[in-house]
């Protein structure tokens, strides 16, 4: 019996339907109506009425503006009960706070999840101005410093799986032509500097949080904004700080250093 046959044999249609809805809403800004959900999934609206009702009652989805459905943060909250994520955030938080105090810049910690970069922790700048990325935000692996770091410090097999997943969840997206060269450079340098492709005034400074085998479990990123004050740390200094902070978190995660 083939793997596909086994998959069909143990299918749970109702569960599949609920997961299809959650995954669709997770990749949609602005919510969707019941009819739009049905059209996107190639089904009739009546097939999803009871499933949407249960997801709303259980708190995974909420309804707004009449018949428009949005994904709630319940799944994100459940993910934070997951021990490894909790430990990583608890390890990283004091180091991130120390970075922001020294650099006078914000920073955030990201991991790879379902073909995307997900922010799991964020630290504001110690000054009254900064650019921060909200916890729970999803970003691309291809056009962010965090994504480049997460891809660069992986085994070839894992990297191929991550790229394939990114393409599967983003119809019409293609792999950048220079991605291989970019990732090779980042592995050599040990960090990434790139002009933000989302905000004109930001340069992202990113470094890997590494496990003992040298693969990235997370990426630490500073969305650097050039300060006008002559006393503020420069981009070069902040890059040194972010690399140092990521190394400190790596050492704590690996168990070779205490906080």
Cα 161 to Cα 216: distance, rounded to the nearest angstrom: 15
Angle, alpha carbons 153-154-159 (nearest 5°): 125
Q: Give the pLDDT of residue 256.
A: 47
| 173 and 96 housed in the same domain | yes
For residue 259, is it within any domain?
A: no
| 33 and 143 housed in the same domain | no
Residue at a domain's end among 72, 94, 129:
72
Angle, alpha carbons 145-149-150 (nearest 5°): 115
| 91 and 188 housed in the same domain | yes
For residue 234, is it within any domain?
A: yes
Q: What is the pTM of this model?
A: 0.69
Give how many domains the chain has, as a whole number.
Answer: 2
Q: Give the pLDDT of residue 258.
A: 44
The whole-number mean pLDDT for each consecutive block of 10 residues of the chain, a chain of 259 residues, reads: 52 84 83 89 84 87 82 68 76 95 95 88 86 86 94 91 84 87 96 87 94 91 88 94 96 66
Cα 12 to Cα 38: distance, rounded to the nearest angstrom: 19
Q: Give the pLDDT of residue 203.
A: 94
Q: Give the pLDDT of residue 219.
A: 97
CATH number (domain holding residue 206): 3.30.450.40
| 100 and 136 housed in the same domain | yes
Q: Give the pLDDT of residue 43.
A: 84
Q: Give the pLDDT of residue 3.
A: 45
Domain span including residue 15: 3-72
Q: Give the pLDDT of residue 8.
A: 62
CATH number (domain holding residue 54): 1.10.10.10
């Amino acid at each position: 019996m083939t793997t596909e046959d086994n998959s069909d044999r143990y299918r749970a249609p109702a569960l599949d339907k609920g997961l299809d809805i959650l995954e669709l809403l997770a990749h949609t800004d602005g919510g969707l109506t019941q009819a739009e959900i049905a059209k996107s999934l190639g089904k009739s609206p009546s097939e999803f009425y009871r499933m949407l009702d249960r997801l709303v009652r259980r708190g995974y989805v909420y309804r707004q503006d009449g018949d428009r459905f949005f994904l709630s943060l319940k799944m994100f909250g459940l993910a934070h009960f997951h021990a490894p994520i909790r430990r990583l955030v608890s390890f990283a938080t004091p180091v991130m706070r120390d970075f922001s105090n020294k650099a006078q810049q914000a920073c955030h910690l990201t991991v790879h999840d379902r073909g995307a970069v997900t922010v799991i922790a964020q630290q504001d700048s110690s000054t009254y101005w900064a650019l921060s990325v909200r916890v729970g935000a999803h970003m691309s692996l291809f056009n962010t410093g965090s994504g480049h770091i997460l891809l660069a410090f992986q085994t070839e097999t894992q990297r191929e799986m991550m790229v394939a997943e990114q393409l599967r969840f983003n119809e019409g997206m293609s792999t950048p032509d220079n991605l291989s060269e970019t990732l090779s450079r980042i592995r050599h340098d040990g960090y990434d500097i790139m002009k933000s492709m989302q905000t004109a005034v930001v340069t992202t400074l990113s470094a890997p949080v590494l496990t003992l085998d040298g693969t990235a479990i997370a990426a630490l990123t500073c969305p650097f904004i050039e300060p006008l004050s002559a006393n503020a740390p420069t981009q070069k200094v902040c890059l040194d700080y972010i690399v140092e902070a990521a190394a400190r978190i790596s050492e704590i995660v690996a168990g070779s250093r205490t906080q």
